[in-house]
Amino acid sequence: AQKITQTQPGMFVQEKEAVTLDCTYDTSDPSYGLFWYKQPSSGEMIFLIYQGSYDQQNATEGRYSLNFQKARKSANLVISASQLGDSAMYFCAMRVPRQSGNQFYFGTGTSLTVIP
Amino acid sequence: EAGVTQSPTHLIKTRGQQVTLRCSPISGHTSVYWYQQALGLGLQFLLWYDEGEERNRGNFPPRFSGRQFPNYSSELNVNALELEDSALYLCASSLTGKNIQYFGAGTRLSVL
């Protein structure tokens, strides 16, 4: 069975500091994709970053980077230089195409609050 | 370029009623996905449509159904509404075979 776990219900970070949001996953399939989405209070899920299981390097997108540790089955999101607009819910998700096609499995999310 | 659009934004229904939610994908995207997000919870996969066909279904009862039209837009129908159906319903779209799903702003359904 496929599973995504986010153990931090809420996190606080000072503006301009870096923050790491934790995500662990479980799948026995060697081919999978890992995603992070941001959900502001408006409700829309905004795609942030993607990491494939066979990618050799950690993914980066601007201030977002994904710390991919395959042996530990972790895919933590690192946000550098936090901004007030980063305050939102953050969801980690996984896709295992050979098991379940394009279906995403989501974690329960982490609420990030950036403090001025 | 327009993103994924969903309508209506809010709905209030009573138990036992039926509801239809609508989703228009990003232009060129042929896959549409539906998710349920109950208050304080993560997203639960409902349905996946691609090229007009239902490709996969999550662990939801048959009163949750939908379809995809030739223009790739989609409807989600929920019959015999129950109180626990109150949730944010999110639609996403992607190019066939591509990883990233792009989401709409959702329809917030309240069942009284």
- In this predicted model, what pLDDT tens digit does every residue of A47-104 receive, in sequence order? 999 999 999 899 999 999 999 999 999 999 999 999 999 999 999 999 988 777 778 8
The Cα–Cα gap between B21 and A115 comes to 37
pLDDT of residue A39: 94
pLDDT of residue A26: 95
What's the token pair of residue A105? 């499995």
Min Cα distance A108 → chain B (Å) is 4
Query: Given an 8 Å threshold on Cβ–Cβ distance, is A102 in contact with B42?
Result: no
Confidence of residue A2 (pLDDT cuts 50, 70, 90): confident
pLDDT of residue B97: 65
The Cα–Cα gap between A33 and A24 comes to 13
pLDDT of residue B8: 96
Position A41 pLDDT exceeds 70: yes
- Which chain A residue has its CA at the smallest distance from B58's CA? A103
Which amino acid appears at position B22 of this protein? Answer: R
Interface of A with B (CB under 8 A): 4, 33, 35, 37, 42-47, 50, 52, 91, 93, 95, 100-109
Instruction: Say which residues have a Cβ less than 8 Å from residue A39's Cβ, sequence separation at least 6.
Output: A45, A46, A88, A89, A90, A91, A109
Nearest CA to B67 out of B104, B16, B20, B13 is that of B20
Which residue positions in chain B have pLDDT lower than 50? none
